[in-house]
Amino acid sequence: MANTILIGSQWGDEGKGKIIDVITTEHQWVVRYQGGNNAGHTVEIGDQKFVLHLLPSGMLREGCSCVIGNGVVIDPAALQKEIEEVEAQGIVTKGRLYVSDRAHMILPYHRLIDAYREGRATDKDKIGTTKRGIGPTYADKASRVGLRMGDMLDAAFPEMLAHRIQENNRILSSLGAPTVDEEECVDQILGLAKALSPYIADTVTLLNQADRRGESILFEGAQGVMLDIDYGTYPFVTSSNATAGGACTGSGIAPHRIERVIGVIKGYTTRVGEGPFPTELHDEAGEGLRKAGNEFGATTGRPRRCGWFDAVVARYAAMINGIDFWALTKLDVLDHQPVIKMCVAYEFEGRRYESVPASIRILEQCQPIYEEMPGWMSPTTEISRLEDMPIEARHYIARLEELTGVRAGIISVGPKRHSTFVIEDVYKPSL
Ligand code: IMP
């Protein structure tokens, strides 16, 4: 057994795709277990750049099998488009990609409901969703009125689909929102069902059989701990469990089959969409991070909010997920910061907070307590050993480890595959 869960430890966009791409060499399987095409992983291989939303990053490694697990919500049109795109870039998907028959489908009415809610929300209520229909699809799943990918293979699927469209059109009309053209939608989804049916499988059995044969599985988290529906900054969260526990419920692999949990964490913090963000910067330093880190959403192109590293969030992530070591990314983005700050705790109404409070009202008003450190002011992108990093950067990493109680096992200093190195005494390969 050498199964690994890799999760985002902040608000998503930590550079998970890149780290997954590097460590897939140790795994025969890569599994997406939650979220949907709200995610966006950018991976650069040589001169080619891939942006994946639904497909597991393992698709980019020959010989690696990939699963979109039962915990994921799938927009069939988006999946088909992505399959076509990667195939055009030379990636084979047939016989390598398996889509869970239990995964719920995002249908056009889910997107309309998502867009409608976001459109009519006041500034205070707006979540800033990706408008991909994620929340309404998970809501239907919990309400037991969803359609699953396996339903596409059922002879009664056209009627099931028509029935769901009619009911949702009634809801949409009563809200005064645009409705779905039933005939057009049924035709479109039936066409997609035909194209996607070769990929639909009982992935729960498939994965457990692979595990029993001794093949190792990498669980690829989407979004991040602070966007988790239970542990994040509710209601400014996504609608799934982006934390490590989600890997088991979202794939059908038992908890005791997991060997290690890797937390991907950026050397600073970003957030897309609305909601509290204690270390957010509204000044030149924030703008500098956005530019140097190219912090614009891979899915929506929105500029990301940027701020200093928040050790309160990192400690919380380590605790909830049992993180064995950090994959610390985008450290090079700090190369030109003369002074770097790190948030060690929060303060609100004279009280010191060492962990993230559940109350949004409190979190919104929390003031970060910072430690300041000198920056290293030199390029790190070509460095491939910790010993060669500038002394200030090593101090920064050491302080981050001390404050979070977790060592860094992987360091990434640039977007290319080769700009990543491991810390030998922390990182244990899984094979
Ligand atoms: P939803 O997942 O589209 O419902 O959006 C809910 C919140 O999660 C919004 O703040 C989004 O910006 C955020 N979000 C969803 N997916 C990602 C992601 O992959 N990276 C960063 N933020 C995300």
- pLDDT tens digits along 44-69: 777 888 889 999 989 988 899 999 99
In this prediction, residue 21 has a pLDDT band, given cuts at 50, 70 and 90, of confident
Q: Which range, of 138-142, 269-273, 278-282, 294-298, averages the lowest pLDDT?
A: 294-298
Residue 101 annotated as catalytic:
no
Indicate if the pLDDT at residue 201 is higher than 70: yes
- Please give the pLDDT value at position 297: 82
| Catalytic residue from among 41, 53, 104, 110 | 41
- Please give the pLDDT value at position 430: 63
414-420: long-range pairs with CB below 8 Å, 24+: 414/332, 414/381, 415/18, 415/42, 415/44, 416/44, 417/18, 417/21, 417/22, 417/44, 417/45, 418/384, 419/332, 419/381, 419/382, 420/18, 420/19, 420/22
Minimum CA distance residue for ligand 1 atom 21: 12
Inter-residue contact 301 to 41 (CB < 8 Å): no
Spell out the domains of the chain, with CATH numbers in brackets: 4-92+203-422 (3.90.170.10), 104-198 (1.10.300.10)
As a whole number, mean pLDDT of residues 204-218 equals 97
Minimum CA distance residue for ligand 1 atom 19: 39
Atom in ligand 1 nearest the alpha carbon of residue 40: 19
Ligand 1 pocket by Cβ (under 6 Å): 11-13, 38-40, 127-130, 132, 134-135, 222-223, 227, 236, 238-239, 272-273
Give the span between the Cα atoms of 347 and 331, in whole angstroms: 27
Question: How many angstroms does the Cα of residue 223 sit away from the middle of ligand 1?
Answer: 7
Minimum CA distance residue for ligand 1 atom 11: 129
Indicate if the pLDDT at residue 431 is higher than 70: no
- Identify which has the larger pLDDT, 316 or 424: 316
Which tens digits make up the pLDDT trace of 329-376? Answer: 999 999 999 999 999 999 999 999 999 999 999 999 999 999 999 999
Which tens digits make up the pLDDT trace of 262-287? Answer: 999 999 999 998 999 999 999 999 99
Question: How many angstroms does the Cα of residue 192 sit away from the middle of ligand 1?
Answer: 25
Give the span between the Cα atoms of 280 and 259, in whole angstroms: 35
Give the span between the Cα atoms of 361 and 47, in whole angstroms: 46
Task: Give me the sign of the Cα torsion angle 422, 424, 427, 431.
Answer: positive
Indicate if the pLDDT at residue 409 is higher than 60: yes
Give the span between the Cα atoms of 10 and 224, in whole angstroms: 5
- Please give the pLDDT value at position 35: 98
Give the span between the Cα atoms of 125 and 104, in whole angstroms: 27
Indicate if the pLDDT at residue 136 is higher than 90: yes
Give the span between the Cα atoms of 137 and 74, in whole angstroms: 9
Minimum CA distance residue for ligand 1 atom 1: 129
Question: How many angstroms does the Cα of residue 10 sit away from the middle of ligand 1?
Answer: 12
